[in-house]
């Protein structure tokens, strides 16, 4: 990758072709920004390969990010789409990941930008761009490697089109021993009013209610949020069924999953928001809902040379 500081890197263009997606680095090469000819844009921090912004063609931000989110690599980003791997939460009883920090090391590691590709856009309206990011045992910091000594490689791709934002992950076991992991895309969606949303598509799913003594329950009807909510739906029934967020009856998000069998629904509400130093404004919980696609109940076992692929597509 030719490192042309803060210079737009127009994708290979041929005179006469319609305008192409623009991809450039910013903030000292710590962020990658892609802008489509339609005006849709996405920003990804190399720290954690965290999507920190997704704007539609009108410049409307679709993801929620705390005003106090750290974007300097000093702590996981509070908002956007942090990546959870190889453990969801903490797992003191799981020897391989017991020593890892909450939600693992993917969201606090420096990822490499592997490159970009775009569709051959016949017209601005069908342009798209895919940004690839990499993390492997070769690039992992020594402290983390000591805590999780497996040989692996991950390619995480962020795809932007005028219709959707897609994130997909391919995790490969490059070593000679099986790897057990959990993975999740911790997506903070921006909404107007938490009290006016409904989440459908999880009806009939079993879930663990983490704000009610981790009781096992079954979802009946649409989900509404009227207080702290922290639920792990596993499996989210019918993976072919999108999870849909409506606000006063209007669909605001449609999330389709591929090979991510579980969905976490989280809103910290007043007290938990007050207790998080990087959660600002404190009433920001009213404007966000986390709908997190992943595989977090039990462990995915990856044998040597095997690969795991999982993806989500968020559209409106
Ligand atoms: O995904 C929901 C959750 O596991 C909550 O329990 C809460 O801890 C949230 O993640 C945020 O975790 P973080 O480590 O980013 O503060």
Q: What are the domain boundaries of the chain?
A: 28-315
Q: Confirm or reject CATH 3.90.1150.10 for domain 28-315, answering yes or no.
A: no
Q: pLDDT digits over 3-28, tens only?
A: 444 555 555 556 677 788 999 999 99
Site of tokens 């009108």: 58
What pLDDT was estimated at residue 2?
43
Least confident of 108-112, 188-192, 240-244: 240-244
User: Is the whole-model pTM more than 0.75?
Assistant: yes
Question: Does ligand 1 lie within 6 Å of residue 102's CB atom?
Answer: yes
Contact 81/112 with Cβ under 8 angstroms? no
Q: 186: CA distance to ligand 1 center in Å?
A: 8
Question: Does ligand 1 lie within 6 Å of residue 79's CB atom?
Answer: no
Higher pLDDT among residues 2 and 91, named by residue:
91
Q: Which two tokens stand for residue 60?
A: 């409307």
- Residue of 228, 266, 288 with the most ligand 1 atoms within 8 Å of its CB, for mutation: 266
Q: Which two tokens stand for residue 38?
A: 């339609």
Q: Which two tokens stand for residue 64?
A: 């929620």
Q: pLDDT digits over 273-316, tens only?
A: 999 999 999 999 999 999 999 999 999 999 999 999 999 999 98
Sequence-separated (6 or more) residues with CB below 8 Å from residue 286: 193, 194, 195
Question: Does ligand 1 lie within 6 Å of residue 43's CB atom?
Answer: no
What pLDDT was estimated at residue 119?
74
Rg of the chain on CA atoms, in Å: 19
| CB neighbours of residue 16 within 10 Å | 5
Q: 8: CA distance to ligand 1 center in Å?
A: 36
Q: 75: CA distance to ligand 1 center in Å?
A: 13
Look at residues 245, 238, 256 and name the one whose alpha carbon lies nearest to residue 163: 256
What residues act catalytically?
A: 186, 292
Contact 263/202 with Cβ under 8 angstroms? yes
Chain CA centroid to CA 256, Å: 13
Look at residues 313, 272, 268 and name the one whose alpha carbon lies nearest to residue 287: 268
Q: Which ligand 1 atom lies nearest to the CA of residue 88? A: 4
229/36 Cα distance (integer angstroms): 35
189/65 Cα distance (integer angstroms): 9
- What mean pLDDT comes out for the span 28-45? 96
Site of tokens 């409307």: 60
Is the preceding omega at residue 86 within 30 degrees of 0, hence cis? yes
Q: 119: CA distance to ligand 1 center in Å?
A: 35
Counting runs of H as helices and runs of E as strands, what totals does the chain give?
Answer: 2, 21
- The partner residues of 255 in beta bridges, in order of sequence, read 243, 314
Q: 287: CA distance to ligand 1 center in Å?
A: 17
Q: Is the pLDDT of residue 117 over 70?
A: yes
- 3-class SS of residue 304: coil
Taking CA 293 as the corner, what is the angle to CA 38 and CA 298, rounded to the nearest 5 degrees? 160
Sequence-separated (6 or more) residues with CB below 8 Å from residue 163: 315
Longest dimension (CA), the chain: 63
User: Do strands 129-136 and 152-160 pair parallel, antiparallel, or not at all (unpaired)?
Assistant: antiparallel
- Residue 96 pLDDT grade (very low, low, confident, very high; cuts 50, 70, 90): very high
Quick one: residue 271, left, alpha or beta (phi over 0 = left, psi -120 to 50 = alpha)? alpha
Measured between its terminal Cα atoms, the distance across the chain in Å is: 33
Question: Does ligand 1 lie within 6 Å of residue 89's CB atom?
Answer: yes
Question: Does ligand 1 lie within 6 Å of residue 266's CB atom?
Answer: yes
Contact 108/135 with Cβ under 8 angstroms? no
- What mean pLDDT comes out for the span 51-79? 98
* Nearest residue (CA) to ligand 1, atom 6: 230
- Residue of 74, 76, 102, 107 with the most ligand 1 atoms within 8 Å of its CB, for mutation: 102
Q: 89: CA distance to ligand 1 center in Å?
A: 7
Question: Does ligand 1 lie within 6 Å of residue 107's CB atom?
Answer: no
- Residue of 50, 88, 100, 103 with the most ligand 1 atoms within 8 Å of its CB, for mutation: 103
Q: Is the pLDDT of residue 121 over 60?
A: no
């Amino acid at each position: 990758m030719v490192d042309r500081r803060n210079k737009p890197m127009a994708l290979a263009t041929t005179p006469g072709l319609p305008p192409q997606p623009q991809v450039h680095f910013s903030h000292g090469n710590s962020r990658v920004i892609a802008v489509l000819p339609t005006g849709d844009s996405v920003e990804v921090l190399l720290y954690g390969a965290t999507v920190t912004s997704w704007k539609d063609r009108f410049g409307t931000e679709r993801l929620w990010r705390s005003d106090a989110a750290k974007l300097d690599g000093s702590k996981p980003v509070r908002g956007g789409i942090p990546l959870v791997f190889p453990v969801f939460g903490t797992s003191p009883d799981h020897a391989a990941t017991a020593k890892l920090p909450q939600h693992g090391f993917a969201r606090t590691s420096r990822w490499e930008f592997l490159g970009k590709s775009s569709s051959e856009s016949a017209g601005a309206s069908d342009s798209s761009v895919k940004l690839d990011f990499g993390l492997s045992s070769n690039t992992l910091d020594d402290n983390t490697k000591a805590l999780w000594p497996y040989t692996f490689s991950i390619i995480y791709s962020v795809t932007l089109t005028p219709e959707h934002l897609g994130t997909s992950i391919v995790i490969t076991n490059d070593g000679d021993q099986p790897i057990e992991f959990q993975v999740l895309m911790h997506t903070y969606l921006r909404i107007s009013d938490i009290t006016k949303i409904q989440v459908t598509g999880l009806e009939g799913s079993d879930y663990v209610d983490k704000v009610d003594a981790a009781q096992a329950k079954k979802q009946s009807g649409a989900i509404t949020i009227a207080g702290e909510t922290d639920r792990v739906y596993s499996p989210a029934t019918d993976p072919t069924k999108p999870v849909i967020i409506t606000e006063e009856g209007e669909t605001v998000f449609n999330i389709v999953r591929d090979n991510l069998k579980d969905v976490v629904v989280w809103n910290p509400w007043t007290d938990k928001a007050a207790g998080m130093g990087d959660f600002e404004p404190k009433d920001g919980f009213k404007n966000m809902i986390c709908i997190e696609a992943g595989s977090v109940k039990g462990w995915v076992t990856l044998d040597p040379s095997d690969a795991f692929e999982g993806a989500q597509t968020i559209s409106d």
